[in-house]
Amino acid sequence: MRSLRLDPELDEKVQRAAAVKGESVSEFIRQAAAERADQTLRTRPSELFADVAGVVHGGGGRARKSGKAFMDTLARAHAKR
């Protein structure tokens, strides 16, 4: 058993929507919660980014050079001391 508090605007909206559906407020909220839980549990994290994952191809190569560039920068900073 759960209880919840709704702000007055949402409470009014839920009451109106339940009336339109011909359901009690409790049944309307139960159905909404069930649908939201099902949707959340069936969506895998990888699906959230499926439309963008793997789309950008940077050409590579720069990451391999970053270590050397960092070491060169440190060497120059150390040499100035």
Considering all CA atoms of the chain, what is the largest pairwise distance in Å, rounded to the nearest integer?
A: 79
Instruction: Please give the tally of structural domains in the chain.
Output: 1
* CA dist., res. 51 & res. 17, Å (int): 33
Q: Residue 61: pLDDT above 70?
A: no
Within-domain flag for 79: no
Within-domain flag for 59: no
Side chain identity, residue 73: T
Within-domain flag for 19: yes
- Residue 15 structural domain: 1-46
Q: 13-24: per-residue pLDDT in tens?
A: 999 999 999 999
Q: 40-51: per-residue pLDDT in tens?
A: 888 777 777 777
Within-domain flag for 70: no
Within-domain flag for 40: yes
Within-domain flag for 57: no
Within-domain flag for 65: no
pTM value?
0.54
Within-domain flag for 80: no
Phi and psi, residue 68, nearest 5°:
-65, -40
